[in-house]
Amino acid sequence: MGKTSRTKGAAGERELAALLNERLDLTLSRRLAQYQRGGHDLDGWDGVHIEVKRYATATQGQVAGWWQQALEQCAGGETPVLAYRANQQQWRFVIRPCDWGGPVGEPAEVGVDGFVAWVRNGRQLQLEVTA
């Protein structure tokens, strides 16, 4: 990975940590050891594995690969979360609603408002299924 990519990724991790700290009253920070040992990108949320991606584009194929990476890196029962943002776009989150008290085990993609709502009220939310 080149220096520009690492810099963009680090800036994305700091941006997301600040956003979630504000919206969910957390104290997340970058996990600096991730580059040596792999694993989640943000520390400070016990039991939750956050994989952060900040790229110019985010195709469906890329998102699927990133989600798979998040699942593979979860250790012993952690809850996987993929957070990604493409240039000129808002943050998007991939979660399994069942991890937040919902009835569905398949991954769902939501914006930041949807993610915050799932974290706070997952069991009480209804999924809208589109055919």
Neighbours of 47 (CB within 10 A): 10
pLDDT for the residue 8: 81
pLDDT for the residue 37: 52
By the 8 A CB rule, do 73 and 51 touch?
Answer: yes
Range of the domain at 32: 3-124
Q: What does DSSP say about strands 108-111 and 92-95: parallel, antiparallel, or unpaired? A: antiparallel
pLDDT in tens, the chain (131 residues): 576 777 788 999 999 999 999 999 999 999 875 454 557 799 999 999 999 999 999 999 999 999 999 999 987 789 999 999 999 999 999 999 888 888 888 999 999 999 999 888 875 655 554 44
Total number of domains in the chain = 1
pLDDT for the residue 75: 75
Q: Is residue 131 part of a domain?
A: no
Taking the model in full, what pTM does it have? 0.86
d(CA 13, CA 128): 29
pLDDT for the residue 2: 72
Q: Is residue 33 part of a domain?
A: yes
Tokens in use for 28? Answer: 């997340």
According to DSSP, residue 70 is labeled H
Q: Is residue 130 part of a domain?
A: no
pLDDT for the residue 100: 86
Whichever domain contains 58, its CATH number is: 3.40.1350
Q: Is residue 129 part of a domain?
A: no
Q: Is residue 19 part of a domain?
A: yes
CA 110 to chain centre: 10
Q: Is 74 helix (H, G, I), strand (E, B) or coil?
A: coil
